[in-house]
Structure 1
Amino acid sequence: MGTVQRFEKLAIWTLARKLNHRTYLLIRTTSLGSDFVLRNQIDKSAGSVMDNIAEGFEREGNKEFIYFLSVAKGSCGEWRSQLMRAYDRDHVNENEFQELDESALTLIKKIKTLINYLNRSRFKGSKFK
């Protein structure tokens, strides 16, 4: 975390933001927009991924950041489950489903990689200097 000064510069936050935007486009351009409960759930979980990355980063401590990254990773898994429900309800076609699911799996993998790095790092966070 020593070189990154703002959460917006984190590659995982950028990917999470793209996932959030793609979710918004799905809601606006497909029948998912009229499935109110699922629409709200998938929208909230997409936002939760990027928001938890930002919140953890701003806490300025490794342990807290790892915790919030774990929450973000879980929210991304929740988003994938909701995407599968959207696919099962014919809101999303197979190509969209495959592309979006791959994007989410890539994000999950990158979050896990950062968690592993932080767990091995001796850097404790700027609030512990």
Structure 2
Amino acid sequence: MDNHEMVKNYKELKFWQTAFETTILVIDLTRKLPKEKVFWIIGDQIIRAASSVGANIAEGFGRYRGKEYERFLQISLGSANEVEYWLLVIKRILPKLNEEIFRTIEINKQTIKMLASLLKTLRAKR
């Protein structure tokens, strides 16, 4: 029996939990961005990327079968990396938000590490 069979709901997955926490932190962070159009665009992009991570984990969990599940996890991993990119952009432009950004990056990195590890394990089983 593998881990997925022991987990009854995607919300029990640690990497979904950290992805969800990252999404909430990103939404809170974007509320603090200046109201200029460029920041609205950045905010929109990072919210889309952050919400995509957890959403794809949830959708993939519901379709847990081989390569299809792996594909959803790959999309989640790509989106998590995109979140980090946008956080670094905001950090560079608005250093006053560095503390919040650092915390968000650290939680997002946990998601990235767990997803990368799981994908490596799934590939090794093929």
TM-score, reference length from structure 1: 0.84
- The size of the alignment, in residue pairs, is 121
Among candidates 112, 116, 123, match of residue 112 of structure 1 = 116
1:77 aligns with 2:92: no
Aligned match of 1:15: 18
Give the distance between the partners of 1:27 and 1:84, measured in 2 at CA: 13
1:44 aligns with 2:48: yes
Do the aligned partners of residues 33 and 59 (structure 1) sit closer, same or farther apart at CA in structure 2, a change above 3 Å counting?
farther
Pairwise CA distance, 1:32: 5.1
Q: Is there any run of 5+ residues in structure 2 with no aligned partner, and where?
A: none
Q: Is there any run of 5+ residues in structure 1 with no aligned partner, and where?
A: 123-129
> After alignment, is 84-93 or 108-117 more displaced?
84-93
Pairwise CA distance, 1:72: 0.3
User: Once the two structures are superposed, what CA deviation does each residue of 1:69-104 show, in whole Å capped at 9, x if it has no partner?
Assistant: 111001000011111111122175322232222221
Give the distance between the partners of 1:75 and 1:21, measured in 2 at CA: 15
The answer to whether the Cα contact below 8 Å between 2:15 and 2:110 also exists between their aligned partners in 1 is: no
Percent of residue pairs identical: 27
Structure 1 runs, 4 residues or longer, greater than 3 Å off: none
Give the distance between the partners of 1:86 and 1:77, measured in 2 at CA: 15
| 1:18-97 correspondence runs (5 A) | 18-28=21-31, 30-31=32-33, 34=36, 35-90=39-94, 93-97=97-101
Residue identity in the other structure for 1:54 = A
Among candidates 95, 106, 112, match of residue 102 of structure 1 = 106
Give the distance between the partners of 2:17 and 2:125, measured in 1 at CA: 23
User: Once the two structures are superposed, what CA deviation does each residue of 1:97-129 show, in whole Å capped at 9, x if it has no partner?
Assistant: 32222221121001111212333448xxxxxxx
Give the distance between the partners of 1:117 and 1:33, measured in 2 at CA: 43
TM-score, reference length from structure 2: 0.85
Do the aligned partners of residues 92 and 70 (structure 1) sit closer, same or farther apart at CA in structure 2, a change above 3 Å counting?
farther
